[in-house]
């Protein structure tokens, strides 16, 4: 009986040991899982922290890039505004220190900026392969500028015709313009000089009239393009004259 009791007792103890071993094993497994989970959480937190830092760094870089870009835009706008005349790409590169590729992108941005906003606009012209850029007042606001500059809303038709004759014949004697346009041209010429559209210098008993630099800026006409157009007109005129002489 004692042996049987001891056997039962032994079995019970073994069972308890197994159960305890399994329990310890289970607890150890849970502990391991907990440690691994904490480690994963820590790694996840670290990864998230790293991502946030990278995002902040990227945002800071983009903000800095945007600020630098805006500074460059402001620099080009200032150059165009202060020049108050057509500038070539070469001149803009020299003034702003910006490389031509980036400068072209900036000019396009400025052009887009003012396309549907504000009273200013960017005027672009191409003459003999050269690009000319200028910041100017939009057409629908130009009459206000004319009013401030000359005291009138615009040039009269008579003034426009007188100015056209001067532009075509310049440099030209004032006496010739008066013969062509009549005595009213005296007032026109005075107006143009006050508006800094033409220059006048004493030439004997009369004056010699020629276009000022401001004339080309005012009417958005590059000087080279204007002179070339006049040369073409004069050339065609000479051809017609020679043709008529040949017929006679």
Q: What is the pLDDT of residues 69-102, one digit of tens each?
A: 888 888 888 888 777 678 888 889 998 889 999 9
Q: How confident is the model at residue 207 (pLDDT cuts 50, 70, 90)?
A: very high
Domain residue limits at 83: 70-142
Q: Is residue 198 part of a domain?
A: yes
Secondary structure letter of residue 139 according to DSSP: G
Q: Shortest CA distance to 177 belongs to which of 165, 187, 167?
A: 165
Asked if residue 185 and residue 114 are part of one domain, the reply reads no
Asked if residue 137 and residue 159 are part of one domain, the reply reads no
Q: Is residue 248 part of a domain?
A: no
Asked if residue 230 and residue 164 are part of one domain, the reply reads yes
Asked if residue 200 and residue 177 are part of one domain, the reply reads yes
Number of Cβ within a 10 Å radius of residue 165: 17
> Which tens digits make up the pLDDT trace of 214-232?
888 777 777 776 676 666 5
Instruction: Please say which residue of 115, 142, 169 terminates a domain.
Output: 142
Count of helices and strands (H, E) across the chain: 9, 6
How many structural domains are present in the chain? 2
> Is the pLDDT reported for residue 117 higher than 70?
no
Q: How far apart are the first and last CA of the chain?
A: 160
> Is the pLDDT reported for residue 158 higher than 50?
yes
Asked if residue 101 and residue 173 are part of one domain, the reply reads no
Q: Is residue 15 part of a domain?
A: no
Q: Which residue has the tokens 């500059």?
A: 149
Asked if residue 133 and residue 164 are part of one domain, the reply reads no
Q: pLDDT averaged over the chain? A: 77
Give the model's pLDDT for residue 209. 94
Give the model's pLDDT for residue 151. 45
> Which tens digits make up the pLDDT trace of 14-42?
777 777 778 888 888 888 888 888 888 88
Q: Is residue 35 part of a domain?
A: no
Asked if residue 226 and residue 178 are part of one domain, the reply reads yes
Q: CATH no. for residue 163?
A: 1.10.10.10
């Amino acid at each position: 009986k004692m042996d049987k009791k001891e056997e039962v007792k032994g079995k019970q103890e073994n069972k308890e040991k197994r159960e305890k071993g399994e329990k310890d094993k289970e607890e150890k497994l849970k502990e391991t899982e907990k440690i691994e989970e904490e480690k994963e959480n820590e790694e996840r937190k670290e990864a998230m922290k790293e991502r946030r830092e990278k995002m902040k760094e990227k945002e800071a870089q983009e903000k800095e890039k945007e600020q630098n870009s805006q500074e460059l835009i402001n620099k080009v706008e200032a150059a165009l505004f202060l020049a108050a005349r057509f500038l070539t790409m070469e001149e803009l590169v020299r003034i702003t220190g910006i490389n031509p590729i980036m400068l072209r992108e900036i000019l396009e941005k400025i052009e887009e900026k003012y396309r549907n906003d504000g009273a200013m606009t960017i005027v672009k012209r191409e003459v003999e392969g050269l690009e000319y850029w200028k910041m100017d007042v939009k057409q629908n606001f130009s009459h206000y500028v004319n009013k401030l500059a000359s005291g009138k809303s615009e040039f009269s038709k008579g003034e426009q015709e007188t100015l056209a004759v001067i532009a075509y014949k310049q440099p030209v004697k004032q006496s010739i313009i008066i013969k062509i346009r009549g005595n009213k041209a005296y007032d026109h010429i005075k107006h143009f000089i006050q508006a800094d559209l033409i220059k006048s210098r004493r030439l004997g008993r009369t004056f010699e009239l020629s276009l000022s630099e401001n004339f080309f800026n005012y009417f958005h006409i590059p000087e080279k393009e204007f002179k070339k157009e006049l040369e073409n007109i004069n050339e065609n005129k000479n051809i017609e004259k020679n043709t008529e002489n040949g017929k006679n």
